[in-house]
Each structure stands twice: as structure tokens, then as C-alpha cells.
């Protein structure tokens, strides 16, 4: 990957990247994260600036105008060699979307940027749901009717609320290679209740695009226009992600001072958000949901799971992000309310866990 180290606008960077930035045989990858910051140097009481966060985790940062060159390092467990991983990063001020361009492999990303995201507040994967993956297919087919799915990976958790006609009690992971991937994926979704995690779309004589649920988009076998089109696909995919974050960020926690004769009392004022399930839940699925949350490092305390018409409520702690919030669910939806100041990433992780392990068709909504 060859990018001149000069002052860039985002537009000049993309032009150079598309025209001469990628060598033959290299695969361009866009790694997307959502942030609570719109500026590299912006700080808050809860979280450091992105510049300080990356620097404190050993990432070298070089200013290239609107683009930053990031160089991360990690030690390879097999060879004990130190591996350098280079990114060119752009932070969108309005959407607070961080896009990192690289030719590194997915495993390199997991060893560098992903490790920072997993243990720090204010930054998270730009999670792409199975529903959005299928929307991307529809978009590509409309623009390029010859598009076909040449590979996909899909998964079923045994606690999935998504129905399966054949042996629903089994967990499944499916990887499929073949030019009839679109038909096979639909057949497997119906018969075996799997949900896609990664899809490779091929547009004949143009490019191959790989979209993964963790917010990574890759292009291979594509030239200038095809590389620019990767950004259009990313923008389309991120619309749903940003809508989910908007719903999550509508939640609020405030302490309201009330004066009495003797002292000032602080009362919490909560504004929740909600997750709407793809299909109504029964009591067994409610039990499965509690189990999944615990397996994903969400501890639920003092919860009540009522028989008959499903009712589940309790207090949850996120062990990874050190946050506390409450949930109140019925068969159709779950209402989530913060018990403290909570950065969006803990809630987005909560939503991701539910979609990936329980209900692939669940959606984030502003609480009405």
C-alpha cells in the first residue's frame, strides 16, 4: 500500500488510494469503528481523546492533514517476531465514524486495533447485522444485476430465537463456497436457522467484495472505480450502524437536585432505549437469553422471569466495560435504561451479543 506522506484531504487520499495506492495482489481493507468523538484531540470526563488512547497503547501517529497514519505493533505468538501493521485513518466529524484503511489481514487487525476497542470505552466495532448484510445484497443486485454470492459463513447458536426446521437444538457453523451462494444461504436460513456473519459478493469482470459483521469491508480483483465503489458500500452499510448508535445515544442518565428543608437530594432521571425482537419470545427463550448474557460477560442480578406472558427484568453489569444498567422485557421488546453515565459502546456490545447469539432480526429503537 503506497500513500504519499503529505497533507491530504479525505478526497485527495481516496483519489490516490484508488489510483495508485494498492499494489497488484494486495487486498484493500476498510475497518470501521464508531466513536463518541468527532475530533482526534477531543476529550471528555469519561474517555481520553482518540490520539491519547492510541498513543497510550503504543500506536505511532503521523499527521497527514485530514488523514492520520497509524503504525501498530504486536508480537507473533508462533514466530516471536514483532509485526508492524499500518493503517491510514479518517475520523468523520459529524458521524464520528472512524475508517481505517489497510492491506493487513483480519488477524492483524484483531491483534492491534481490536484489542484497544475491546477494553476501552468510547469506541466500538461498527457492527453490521445479518439484516444489513442482506440489504447490501439487494443494493448490489440493483446496481449490478449479475452480482452473485461466491462464499459466505453463517452460524446458529442453539439458543437462537430464529426458527430451524431441522434439529434446532444443535449449534452450527457453515462455510460455503459456490456460485449459487445466494440460493444456498436462503435454503440454509430456512431449514437450519443460520444467520450470515460474512459474505463475499462477486461482480463479474469488476471486483470481489467481502463484508464481515465486525465492520470490515475488503476488495480484491478490482481497479480504480471498484475501489471507490467499496466506499459506497461502506457508506450504505454504516447507515444502519449509525441509526443503532443514534437509538442507543438517545438514552440518558441525570441526577436531578431537589431541595428540601434540611438538604439537597439527588434523584435519578432515566431515559431508556429499546431492542425490538424479530419474533415474540416465550418463557424458554427468555431463559436462553439470560444464559447467553451471562456467557457473554453480562451479569444479571435480582432478575425476575415470569411464567405465562413473558416478563423479564433485572439489573445488568457489563464486566468488560464496567457499566451498570437495567432491563425490562416482554415478549416483543426489551427496554434498557442506564443506572449511571454509560458510553454507547457498552450498549452496542449488548445489542451485538443479542443479535449474534440470540435474535439475528432484533433491531435497535428509540424508546417511545
The yes-or-no verdict on residue 308 having pLDDT over 70 is: no
End-to-end CA distance of the chain: 47
- The predicted-structure confidence for 98-134, as pLDDT tens digits, reads as follows 999 999 999 999 999 999 998 888 999 999 999 999 9
The yes-or-no verdict on residue 218 having pLDDT over 70 is: yes
Least confident range from 13-27, 80-94, 186-200: namely 13-27
Would you tell me the crossing angle of helices 130-143 and 224-249 to the nearest 10 degrees? 140
| Residues paired with residue 68 on neighbouring β-strands, in sequence order | 63, 89
Residue predicted with more confidence, 264 or 291: 291
Cell matching residue 275:
431492542
The yes-or-no verdict on residue 255 having pLDDT over 80 is: no
Residue predicted with more confidence, 310 or 274: 274
Q: Say what the pLDDT of residue 352 is.
A: 96
Confidence label for 362 from pLDDT (cuts 50, 70 and 90): very high
According to DSSP, residue 65 is labeled: B
Highest mean pLDDT among 202-211, 256-265, 307-316: 202-211
The yes-or-no verdict on residue 23 having pLDDT over 90 is: no
The phi and psi torsions of 348 (rounded to 5 degrees) equal -65, -35
Q: Quick one: 34 exposed, middle or buried, by C-beta within 10 A (0-12, 13-18, 19+)?
A: buried
Q: What angle do CA 10, 123, 40 make, to 5 degrees?
A: 45
Mean of pLDDT over the chain: 91
pLDDT (mean) for 300-315: 81
Instruction: Report the C-alpha gap between 265 and 256 in whole angstroms.
Output: 8
Q: Say what the pLDDT of residue 4 is.
A: 92
Confidence label for 202 from pLDDT (cuts 50, 70 and 90): very high
Return the CA Rg of the chain. 22
CATH 3.30.310 assigned to domain 10-125? The reply is yes
Q: What is the CATH number of domain 250-366?
A: 3.30.160
Cell matching residue 52:
491519547
Could you state, in order of their start, the residue ranges of all structural domains in the chain?
10-125, 130-245, 250-366
Q: Say what the pLDDT of residue 240 is.
A: 95
Amino acid at each position: 500500500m503506497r500513500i504519499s506522506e503529505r497533507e491530504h484531504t479525505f478526497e485527495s487520499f481516496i483519489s490516490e488510494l484508488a489510483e495508485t495506492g494498492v499494489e497488484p495482489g494486495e487486498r484493500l481493507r476498510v475497518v470501521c469503528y464508531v466513536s463518541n468523538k468527532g475530533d482526534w484531540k477531543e476529550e471528555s470526563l469519561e474517555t481520553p481523546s482518540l490520539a491519547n488512547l492510541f498513543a497510550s497503547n503504543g500506536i505511532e501517529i503521523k499527521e497527514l492533514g485530514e488523514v492520520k497514519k497509524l503504525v501498530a505493533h504486536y508480537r507473533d505468538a508462533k514466530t516471536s517476531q514483532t509485526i508492524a501493521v499500518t493503517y491510514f485513518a479518517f475520523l468523520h466529524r459529524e458521524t464520528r465514524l472512524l475508517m481505517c484503511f489497510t492491506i493487513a489481514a483480519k488477524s492483524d487487525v484483531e491483534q492491534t486495533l481490536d484489542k484497544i476497542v475491546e477494553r476501552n470505552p468510547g469506541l466500538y466495532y461498527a457492527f453490521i447485522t445479518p439484516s444489513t448484510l442482506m440489504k447490501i445484497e439487494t443494493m448490489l443486485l440493483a446496481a449490478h444485476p449479475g452480482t452473485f454470492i461466491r462464499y459466505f459463513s453463517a452460524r446458529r447458536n442453539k439458543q437462537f430465537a430464529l426458527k430451524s426446521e431441522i434439529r434446532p437444538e444443535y449449534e452450527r457453523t457453515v462455510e460455503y463456497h459456490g456460485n449459487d451462494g445466494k440460493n444456498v444461504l436462503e435454503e440454509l436460513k430456512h431449514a437450519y436457522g443460520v444467520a450470515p456473519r460474512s459474505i463475499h459478493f462477486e461482480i463479474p469482470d469488476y471486483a470481489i467484495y467481502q463484508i464481515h459483521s465486525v465492520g470490515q469491508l475488503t476488495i480484491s480483483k478490482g481497479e480504480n472505480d471498484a475501489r471507490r465503489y467499496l466506499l459506497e458500500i461502506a457508506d450504505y452499510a454504516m447507515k444502519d450502524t449509525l441509526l443503532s448508535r443514534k437509538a442507543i445515544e438517545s438514552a440518558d442518565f441525570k441526577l436531578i437536585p431537589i431541595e428540601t428543608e434540611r438538604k439537597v437530594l439527588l434523584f435519578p432521571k432515566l431515559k431508556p432505549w429499546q431492542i425490538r425482537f424479530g419474533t415474540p419470545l416465550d418463557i424458554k427463550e427468555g431463559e436462553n437469553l439470560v444464559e447467553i448474557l451471562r456467557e457473554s460477560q453480562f451479569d444479571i442480578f435480582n432478575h425476575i422471569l415470569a411464567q405465562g406472558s413473558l416478563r423479564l427484568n433485572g439489573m445488568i453489569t457489563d464486566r468488560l466495560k464496567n457499566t451498570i444498567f437495567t432491563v425490562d422485557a416482554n415478549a416483543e421488546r426489551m427496554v434498557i435504561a442506564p443506572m449511571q453515565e454509560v458510553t454507547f459502546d457498552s450498549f452496542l456490545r449488548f445489542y451485538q451479543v443479542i443479535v449474534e447469539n440470540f435474535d439475528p432480526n432484533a433491531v435497535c429503537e428509540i424508546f417511545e
